[in-house]
Amino acid sequence: MLALKTAEKLLAEVAPAERKALQALIQLATKQKSQAERVLQDLLPIVTDESHQDDPYLILAIANACWLEVADGQVSSGRLDVAKELLTKILNHNQSCAAAYQYLGYLAEKEQNYKSAAQNYDNAWSFGGKTDLAVGYKLAHAYLKLKKYPECIVVCRHILKAHPDYPKIKKEILEKAKTNLRT
């Protein structure tokens, strides 16, 4: 909270023409979903306003963060179709948003659509630089469900190289993929 108060004080020193996007970032930092929706309503008209000084890419990045917050709220509320629409909107503006792909993978997995889950988790894994091991685990699991054993083994090995004691991956995924590959 102290950091937010400091940011608000510093914001007063910024020129008014450049203040809108920074103010939106401060509102997002509160992690309140209602704030995310308010930020969206304030910022989206600015993107098309040529007289505005702020960088449109910064504004779209903030909008994407807002849409992710709102989509998270929709998933929590069980409104999965609305969440999918928001996530698709994010990907229309930023085709490399790993978090949006991860959410879509989660939603597809919930529907037991492992093909779609694998595609989305693969995008999340790739665009995230293959560093989020939890996404890699989910991708390996989706490959296992699809009987894509070689792909599953490659992902498992990548995870185990980075984290040799990664929970459950050896027994629950890697060994099953190896066994099924042999048969």
| Digit-coded pLDDT (tens) for 89-129 | 899 988 999 999 999 999 999 999 999 999 999 999 999 99
pLDDT tops 70 at residue 47: no
pLDDT at 48: 61
Q: Which residues does 24 contact at the CB level (< 8 Å), separation at least 6?
A: 39, 42, 43, 59, 62
How far, in Å, CA of 152 to CA of 157, rounded? 9
User: Quick one: pLDDT band at residue 65, thresholds 50, 70, 90?
Assistant: confident
Note the pTM of the prediction, 2 decimals: 0.76
**Considering only CA atoms, which of 127, 123, 124, 159 is closest in space to residue 140?**
159
Average pLDDT over residues 140-147: 98
